[in-house]
Amino acid sequence: MLEKILITSFCIFAIWYTMQPGEIFGFVQDWFAPMNQKLKDAAFDCAACMSPWWGSGIYWLIWGLWLKSACWQEWLLTVICTIGFNAIIINLWPPSK
> For residue 45, is it within any domain?
yes
Give the chain's domain count: 1
* Euclidean distance between CA atoms 2 and 30, whole angstroms: 35
Q: Does residue 97 fall inside a structural domain?
A: no
Average of per-residue pLDDT across 49-75: 85
Task: Tell me what percent of the residues of the chain surpass a pLDDT of 70.
Answer: 92
Could you tell me the pTM of the whole model? Answer: 0.86
Q: What is the pLDDT of residue 40?
A: 83
Looking at residues 75-85, what average pLDDT do you find?
A: 95
Quote the percentage of the chain above a pLDDT of 90: 54
Question: Residues 2, 85: contact at Cβ < 8 Å?
Answer: no
CB-CB contact of 63 with 70 (8 Å): yes
| Structural domain containing residue 84 | 2-92
Tell me whether residue 39 is in a domain. yes
pLDDT tens digits along 19-51? 998 999 989 888 887 888 888 888 888 999 999
